[in-house]
Structure 1
Amino acid sequence: MDFSQRLQQVSANPEALTQIGRGLEREALRITPQGELSAEPHPAGLGSALTNKWVTTDFAESLLEFITPVSQNVDHLLSQLSDIHQFTYSKLDQETLWPMSMPCFVGREDDITLAQYGSSNSGRMKTLYREGLKHRYGSVMQVISGVHFNFSFPDAFWDQLFGEQNELARQDSVSDAYFALIRNYYRFGWLIPYLFGASPALCSSFVDKTNTSLNFEEVGNGTYYLPNATALRLSDLGYTNHEQSSLKIGFNSLEQYLDGLRRAIRTPSEEFAKIGVKVDGQYRQLNDNVLQIENELYAPIRPKRVAKGSEKPSEALARGGVEYIEVRSLDVNPFSPIGINEDQVRFLDLFLTWAVLSSSASMDDAELECWRDNWNRVVLDGRNPDLQLKIGCGGERLSVRDWSLRVFAELDQVAEVMDAAAGNQNYQQTLSRLKNWIEDPALTLSGRLLAEIKQQQGIGKVGRSLADAHANAFQQRQLTFYSQQEFEQEAEASKERQQQIELGDEVSFEQFLDDYFADLK
């Protein structure tokens, strides 16, 4: 069957396209009224960063992470994320949230305090993992923020696509389908940084730390930009791990992916061995392998399954197959108080549905590198109307505009059936708006942000202005999904859960680590 036939097959049951599961994770740095990185610990009013289900921290004490539950309703999803933000603002005193992916006003590496999770073995391990990231890549690189989009199709979708199957056959079919989606994400996902990339400029601190040959231009006092860049966060100037480039983790099957992942967490790194694991009685990293743990793998998209108990991510996948995918290539939307908006969510719905229903041949390492090259071209020069992208590894090329319009022609079909299932025009209206961004790159998030940066002469002024505007917006807003009491109760309950974890430890930290990594020996 071709794409159109598969689309008609799943659309026969409206629930297949109206019960999509979505969750959001948004990272944001706390900043002072002067626009500097907060040196204050995680606000006590937010509860335990180890156990609060809605508000935690990522790499640093100052780097908040907001987490929604899974929702089948886009409006509910965004209301949940907005309410979590609003509660957080009520506990921030005079601080605000930096509205961009790329931080600014970061002084020395040691000004960034690693996230603290208490005295339990599991909490100490989380902080030690971050200590390893600091030694490996530097703290400044680790406080780059993003938005992660978790996405799953309902059982009704797979029922329509695959028909009657026993449990094991269904598990294999679903995993294969998600990996087909992932391969198409690598082929065509450059559309996401083109449309929603929002890091066309950097503070000088990032450029100073690299040996880049990129021809940056400067505006204001220490803001560097590329005229047509979209998402420098996704370039070698942002998240990078050159050690991982040799791993060759494939996406043709769950087995291939897991084999590559297991190899990565077992492969010693000469570079990271120089750091040392335990020096003068102090741990510096969990181990000296290419990956300390599986979470260190940098990827624009990941296959996932909710882990049970102390399961590692790969163990969960091996047990039950792929349950959902995590899109990790979204910059924080600086124009949204919550870092993402409805059009972005609906576009991702459409794009991921199209990606799973479209043909997706297996992909070798050479082809994967071709697609990564396309991503890099869009990241650095995506708004250049003359930019040409590769079509496969042959010599044929196509402009960003022409290739985008080809994809949009099929996304239009998805939007029609999803709107028909929901009884509205929301998806078609989203595509109509975004199609204008293809014709006029200045309308993209990166185009709009760079115009603001040039006008205001630097990232700092734009960032502080937007941060203040977002904070004021939440002061005027009422909670719509959760109540203040629910947030307060969760904050208190999370402190109690952390205490119970700490009281439950029965072995030393050293023994805890030995047990955790026993399968690597």
Structure 2
Amino acid sequence: MSQLDAQLAALAAPAAKHTLRGILRGIEKESLRVTPEGRLSAEQHPQGLGSAMTHPHITTDYSEALLEFITQPATRISDVLAQLDEIHRYTYSQLSDELLWPGSMPCVLAGDNSIPVARYGTSNSGTMKTVYRLGLGHRYGRAMQTIAGVHYNFSLPDEFWRALAQHEGSTQSLQDFKTDKYFALIRNFRRYFWLLIQLFGAAPAVCKSFVRGREHALVPFGTDSNTLHVPYATSLRMGDLGYQSDAQNSLIVCYNNVDNYLKTLCGAITQPHADYQRIGLTDVEGQYQQLNTSLLQIENEFYSTIRPKRTANSGETALQALRLRGVEYVEVRCVDLNPFDPLGVNSDQLHYLDAFLLFCLLQDSPQASDREYANLQENQKRIVYRGLDPDLTLLNESGEVKASEWAAQLQCGISACAEMLDGAWGIDDYRRAFAAQEQKRAGATPTPAQQVLHALQEKQQTYYAHTLEMAERHRQYFATRPLSAARQSYFAQLASESHRRQTEVEAADTVSFEEYLAAYYRQYSDCGCTQRTASEPISAQSGH
């Protein structure tokens, strides 16, 4: 019996299976604000949406024009999507004539200077958020700050972890057991996430303005010189056109245990990097250009397909929160916006993600080697640019393997997890969601990336025109379903309260920004920093 079969058998008991109903999930969904003509908005964050610094559900990400919607954790997928729907409906009531761009790759861009960096007020914490984004602009270019996606937060309840620990005979504390298991989930996710890119990737094309002045491997779409693409591409956002950099390619982050994960990232945050030293910490007028001159300003700058997370206290670094209290949940970061869906994501996707993540947790998850790390990087490149090629091969421990054969093997385990989740709830939503993805895998129905290319070809449209048309369609969808007066009032009150809280935060500062920043960075010294590069083997690190 495989480990997966044994784990599923142990969880099949009614009491254990019932714990799966306590899974919490939440969504963070990004969307650009654009003008009716499909150009990036130059307007400030709308007053009616509240303070981007303190609003619990509506904020901004890297650019002032890049909205981010955050749902509260919920045990039912339908509740998560209902929250996201309400946030969209309220937002549209405050946008005047602006639209939400439904694609992961941006609208027509007029160069870096036209892309406004997000602003969060005058408090020390707000200034830090803005300076961090200024630093990203200097390091990667501001065009990167217009890419959008869906992040999926996923956690399992303590009752589940106790049942699993009892089955495995673990003597660890509950939190240590959870942390180790979440890292096991992450290792498998990194091995298999290419399947999610293949099934959900929705960014095979981009407006040529996005790559103006950059080297790339894209080609015109037919006779349309304004749209660039790769014929078998899935998600250009997840490749070297997205948040990837030559500097970060030298950094190998170890997911074999939490200690080495912390040490490696802390090292990258605290040790200077020559390229970023040349940019300088401040400009000639003494204004901050970036938070530091290290490889990473903060841990969030390391772009990964999945992150271990722990809710941080005010002023606490994400790594310090992990070090002190362990992993609380994981954040999946590789899902494109689905431009055909008004919410950018749908119920089938989320049900399938649950089954996929449960599979990654229960499947045997050996520790990673340098060779596997290199294979994973190569697989990501292949799935981004050739993910829809029926002859695609990928790398695993056996060498080259046909992606279609490997996907079929993975689907067997994911299907079993979908059945387990359905059994916990007494529903068939997970099996239906799995069947929908299996249809795509088998070529019976198109993937979102294929749908995008088919639409461009059928309508003879540019990427820009097609996505703008979808944006207008989605706006009408929400306009015909206004919030009730009570819910409209509720969101208006949230916005008002967020403005008040921002004022309070700004008034509460008692130290200079320099003192605030120094205190923030002192937390990283607790992690035992070591910056590890590709020249140093994983096996040389302690704890492996």
What TM-score, normalized by structure 1, do the two folds share?
0.96
Q: Does 2:496 match 1:492?
A: yes
What is the rounded CA distance, in whole Å, between the counterparts of 1:246 and 1:254 in structure 2?
Answer: 20
* One-letter amino acid matched to 2:212: D
What is the rounded CA distance, in whole Å, between the counterparts of 1:34 and 1:268 in structure 2?
Answer: 43
**1:63 touches 1:143 (CA, 8 Å); kept in 2?**
yes
Listed as ranges, the gaps of 5+ residues in structure 2 are: 526-544
Listed as ranges, the gaps of 5+ residues in structure 1 are: none
How big is each residue's C-alpha offset from its partner over 1:185-209, in whole Å with a ceiling of 9 and x where there is no partner? 1111101110001110111123333
Aligned to 1:278: 282
Offset of 1:36 from its aligned partner? 0.6
Offset of 1:372 from its aligned partner? 2.1
Q: Secondary structure at the match of 2:120?
A: coil
Q: Select between 165-174 and 346-355 the one with higher mean Cα deviation.
A: 165-174
Q: Secondary structure at the match of 1:172?
A: helix
Q: Does 2:196 match 1:196?
A: no
Offset of 1:167 from its aligned partner? 10
How big is each residue's C-alpha offset from its partner over 1:111-146, in whole Å with a ceiling of 9 and x where there is no partner? 111111111111111111111111111101121001
Aligned to 1:8: 9
How big is each residue's C-alpha offset from its partner over 1:156-183, in whole Å with a ceiling of 9 and x where there is no partner? 2112111299996211111111111111
2:350 to 336, 345, 360: 345
Q: Secondary structure at the match of 2:327?
A: coil
What is the rounded CA distance, in whole Å, between the counterparts of 2:517 and 2:190 in structure 1?
Answer: 35
2:264 to 260, 266, 270: 260
Aligned to 1:373: 378
2:174 to 170, 174, 193: 170
Distance 1:273 1:300, change over 3 A: same
How big is each residue's C-alpha offset from its partner over 1:94-117, in whole Å with a ceiling of 9 and x where there is no partner? 001000000021102111111111
Aligned to 2:297: 292
1:439 to 437, 442, 452: 442
What is the rounded CA distance, in whole Å, between the counterparts of 2:226 and 2:220 in structure 1?
Answer: 11
Aligned to 2:528: none
What is the rounded CA distance, in whole Å, between the counterparts of 2:282 and 2:98 in structure 1?
Answer: 36
Offset of 1:215 from its aligned partner? 5.4
What is the rounded CA distance, in whole Å, between the counterparts of 1:7 and 1:366 in structure 2?
Answer: 30
Q: Percent identity?
A: 42
* One-letter amino acid matched to 1:54: H
What is the rounded CA distance, in whole Å, between the counterparts of 1:407 and 1:240 in structure 2?
Answer: 27
Q: Select between 296-305 and 402-411 the one with higher mean Cα deviation.
A: 402-411
Offset of 1:45 from its aligned partner? 0.3
Q: Does 2:137 match 1:134?
A: yes
Distance 1:504 1:460, change over 3 A: same
* One-letter amino acid matched to 1:484: Q
What is the rounded CA distance, in whole Å, between the counterparts of 1:218 and 1:259 in structure 2?
Answer: 48
**1:47 touches 1:490 (CA, 8 Å); kept in 2?**
yes
Distance 1:349 1:116, change over 3 A: same
Aligned to 2:209: 205
Offset of 1:7 from its aligned partner? 1.2
What is the rounded CA distance, in whole Å, between the counterparts of 1:312 and 1:218 in structure 2?
Answer: 48
Offset of 1:214 from its aligned partner? 5.2
Counterparts of 1:412-423 in structure 2, within 5 Å, are 412-423=415-426
**2:52 touches 2:58 (CA, 8 Å); kept in 1?**
yes
Aligned to 1:459: 463
What TM-score, normalized by structure 2, do the two folds share?
0.92
**1:11 touches 1:417 (CA, 8 Å); kept in 2?**
yes
What is the rounded CA distance, in whole Å, between the counterparts of 2:37 and 2:11 in structure 1?
Answer: 53
* One-letter amino acid matched to 1:92: L
**1:14 touches 1:422 (CA, 8 Å); kept in 2?**
no
2:63 to 44, 56, 60: 60
| Coordinate RMSD, CA, aligned | 1.9
2:321 to 316, 320, 323: 316
What is the rounded CA distance, in whole Å, between the counterparts of 1:461 and 1:445 in structure 2?
Answer: 17
2:367 to 339, 362, 378: 362
Distance 1:369 1:351, change over 3 A: same
Q: Secondary structure at the match of 1:149?
A: strand
Q: Does 2:152 match 1:149?
A: yes
Aligned to 1:49: 52
**1:30 touches 1:37 (CA, 8 Å); kept in 2?**
yes
Distance 1:260 1:218, change over 3 A: farther
1:79 to 58, 78, 82: 82
Offset of 1:480 from its aligned partner? 8.5
**2:320 touches 2:524 (CA, 8 Å); kept in 1?**
no
* One-letter amino acid matched to 2:177: S
**What is the number of residues matched between the two proteins?**
519
What is the rounded CA distance, in whole Å, between the counterparts of 1:362 and 1:304 in structure 2?
Answer: 20
How big is each residue's C-alpha offset from its partner over 1:232-267, in whole Å with a ceiling of 9 and x where there is no partner? 101101111221122211000011111111111012
What is the rounded CA distance, in whole Å, between the counterparts of 2:444 and 2:103 in structure 1?
Answer: 20
**2:283 touches 2:289 (CA, 8 Å); kept in 1?**
yes
